[in-house]
Every structure is written in C-alpha cells, then in structure tokens.
Amino acid sequence: MKEPRSIRMIPARRLVWALVAAGVLGAAGGAGAMHASTTIKTSTSATPASTDGGAVSSPVLASAAPVAGTAAPAAALTPPPAGLPDFATIAARQGVAVVNISVTGTVKTPVQRRGQMPDLDPDDPFAEFFRRFQPQLPRGGEMPTRGQGSGFIVSEDGTILTNAHVVRDASEVTVKLTDRREFKAKVLGSDPKTDVAVLKIEAKGLPTVTLGSTQNLRVGEWVLAIGSPFGFENSVSAGVVSAKGRALPQESFVPFLQTDVAINPGNSGGPLFNARGEVVGINSQIYSQSGGYQGLSFAIPVEVAQRVRQQIEKGGKVQHARLGITVQDVNQGFADSFKLARPEGALVASIEDGSAGAKAGLKSGDVILKFNGQPIVASGDLPALVGQALPGEAATLEVWRHGKLETLKAKLGDDGERKGRVAKADDEAGPQQGRLGLALRPLEPQERRDSGMKEGLVIDDVSGPSALAGVRPGDVLLAVNGTPVSSVEQVRSVVAGAEKSVALLVQRGRDRIFVPVKLG
C-alpha cells in the first residue's frame, strides 16, 4: 500500500535534540517550536586520510604540529573548476542579507469535552506521548505558538521578503541579522494566495541581496539556498533546477520552481540564488511523506514576489485577476476528440454567468491554448497566469473551437469577488466495450425546473467504455465533443463521426466536468 503523499508548508514547530559524541557537542538553546524530530549524528570520512601502524588520523580532528624551526604550510585555497559556480563567494556576499525570523502568536483551540482527545498531527514527534498519557489539554480558548523562518533584505532601509505562512497568526515578529542584531518587524502586508509577505524593520544601511529573473533560468542549472533550517542560521544548501512552472494542488496562483535543494522546516521564506548570486525565488514548500526533505522542493519565482511587494508597498493589499471559468487538463483522449495535435491547453468545463470569461465569449468545450501569448501546456498554467494579472486588465485568449483557432478578448475580473474552482475529471479508462454504453432519456419537466437546465439528457444506465471512463448513472449529458445535445439522435450522430474517443460534458450535482471516453 502506498503511503499518502502531501504538499507541506515548512512551518517550524518542534525540534527534539539528540546530543551524541558526548563532550563534542554542547547543549544549545531551543530553536523554537519545530516540526520534526531530529537526531544530530557525527559523521565519519569514507576514506581514511592516512594510516600509520594501523592508526587512522582524521584530516579534520587531527593536526600535526610544525617541526621546530620550520614554518607551518599555508592552507591553499583551491578555486572551483571552470564552469562550476563559486558557492563560497555567493554565500559570503549574499548571505549577510539573509535573516532569521522568529514569531510568537496565539491560535484558537477547539472546545474539548472531558476525556476527548484532540486531533493530533501524525508527524508530530510528541503525538505518541499525548496518545499514551493523555494530559489535560486546554478545553477551548487560545494557545501560544512560536515558530521560525527565514527572509532576505531587499532595501537598505529594512524591507524584507518572506513567506506569508511564516508570519501567519503572528502577534510579534523578530528579525535577527547575521551580525546578531535583532529588530522588531512590522508586517506591511501578506498575500496567502501567493504565500508572499513583506516586512519592515527600522534600520539604515543594511546589506541587500541582488534580485534576478527566472526568464532565462534553465532546468539543470545550479541553485543555492540560504536559510535557517531547524533554527541553524545561515545554513547553505545547493542543487539544481528540476522544473519550471509547476502547478501544485491548492496553489493555483504560483508557477513554482522545482529544485532538489535540501529544504527543511525553518528554510521557509529564504532566498534561492542562481549561479550568478541573484535571487530567483523564495523557498516555500516541500513534497514529503515524512514531513522532512525528500528531494522535492518548491520556490516562488522572484517575479511573483516582486509584484506582490509592489502592490503592498503601494496600497497595502494585493489583487488578483480572474476569468470566472472552471478548467481541466487536456489528456490524449480529449486531444483525439477535439482533433488537437497535442494534449495541451486548458479545457473549459463551465463558465460563471456574468464573468469575464462569459463576456469574452468563451464556451464549454473551448480549449485555451495561449493567454496573452503565453502557451498553456497544463490546465494549471492558466490560473497562474491569470492570477498574476490585475483586475480590469485586457487579455488575449487563443482558443481551439470546433477544429480551428479563434482569438478572444477579455477584460479580467477581480478574484476578490468570488474564488473560482478547478474541476477534476475522471481520467480512468479501460478496454473498449461497445460504442458508448449509455442509456439516455430527456429531462422531465420537473427535473428541468429543479435543476434549472434547459437542455440535456439524463443518464439512466452506464456500461462499457462510459462506465470505465467514470460516467455515472444520474449524470446529465450536456454535450458531446462540444456540441450541445438534447436528443438521443444527436448523440448518435456526433458519436458516429468520432474516431478514437469522445469528450462528454456532464452535469454532476453542481459541477460540470468533461469525461473522455474511448470508443469501442
């Protein structure tokens, strides 16, 4: 059985210290409330530095005293091989502008009945303690919280960028610089939709990072992260860009950078540098089954963070545009049905009345291939592009409709008015059994009145390819390959002209979704 996967923020919760190599590591102050239990272990070199009569000396822990009358050899600094980034220089020059952020606040706790246990995070290292000993927890009210994260200075007078989730529910924010000075910070504003926050401290002449661009950033390029994982300030880790423009579940406004840089709790809000020492992203999330780093890290592109910063500094709030449509991915079955060369684009499943999409003339069954000239490969690309625009802006949509390209103009709406949804299609497909496998009937007058639908056919029974594709009895068939249907004859006519598959638009409860069906 596969373990459940999840996209996790990187809040700092609890840190359980395990001190090993007694006499080598001393006790340190608590790093705040961290998320995962941690064991600090000594490491040994894989290859001995030297052997002498069976004894092995470590090049790190053992050193030979110079012979009397001779000078100790100077340590030679070996430059990195040509073509590789100079991480040491980047860390030295840019690391001074990376800060540690500590937050305190309170969260409301649910009212607990006596003897009732609260919901516990299975990744919490103290969860088993609570299960076994069941201490008396607060029975409603507020509970103090502490956490840590990272950030970076973008102006000499103290403007700092970090993650919105780092300062969420914070009543007090403290920023610690690399020179150990501490400042109380004011949250100028935060945007949960992009997970970007802007802080301000009262200081002058501060070091700043160099901001770059993801425009020319390529997959496979070296990148460097600096932050405070588990409270270890100014820790440096490196890796490569794994992908660009990643859409993550519930995070539709950000085209994330995916890397394999080691990111852990406390790295949130810290900068991601390219090989030239320029910030290209804000480290924000990890993909993990354990709560810790497992090779998949995600950063918010610096362009997204800059747009949020500009809006916050200008008006104190952030706005996002919206089209008011529901979209889903175009798979090979849909591509065959709509005669697309490749399974790309955002398939329009439904459109809200009076929305920007409706006013632009979008229809269910349209496939949006470009937004303002930017290609839409996966459906998640569209919300990210729309969300970065401002309400009221004009947008050009390149749409595939009935086998040909059309261009539509839209005046974007305001996402603050109503949050859109992204549909998920049933994408299961099986062996081809029969041509379609649907038992259809017209809507009864009462059904029309109750549902508000003027057209469509009720699906009474499902078998063969439609059943394997996920169509259900009780669904209402609205269109086949983008053609509205109100009779069985219309369905037969459209299906007769199809080749490999058809795209069925069905109403299921309050949702409209497309389901690709491979024909027998």
**Catalytic residues, which ones?**
165, 195, 268
DSSP 312: H
423's CB contacts (< 8 A; 6+ apart) are 326, 327, 328, 349, 350, 511, 512, 513, 514
User: Phi and psi dihedrals of 328, rounded to 5?
Assistant: -150, 165
CA distance 201 to 211: 20
User: Phi and psi dihedrals of 278, rounded to 5?
Assistant: -105, 140
Pick from 122, 146, 126, 144: which is nearest to 135 by CA?
126
Side-chain half-sphere exposure of 84, counting CA atoms within 13 A: 9
H or E element, residue 133: helix 127-133
Please answer whether residues 161 and 185 qualify as being in contact, where contact means their C-beta atoms are separated by less than 8 angstroms: no
Please answer whether residues 178 and 95 qualify as being in contact, where contact means their C-beta atoms are separated by less than 8 angstroms: yes
CA distance 103 to 116: 30
Q: What is the largest CA-CA distance in the chain?
A: 107
DSSP 96: G
Please answer whether residues 304 and 257 qualify as being in contact, where contact means their C-beta atoms are separated by less than 8 angstroms: no
Please answer whether residues 233 and 180 qualify as being in contact, where contact means their C-beta atoms are separated by less than 8 angstroms: no
CA distance 244 to 298: 10
CA distance 42 to 25: 9
429's CB contacts (< 8 A; 6+ apart) are 333, 465, 468, 469, 516, 517, 518
H or E element, residue 169: none
518's CB contacts (< 8 A; 6+ apart) are 333, 429, 432, 465, 469, 500, 501
Residue 451: Cβ-neighbour burial (10 angstroms; 0-12, 13-18, 19+): middle
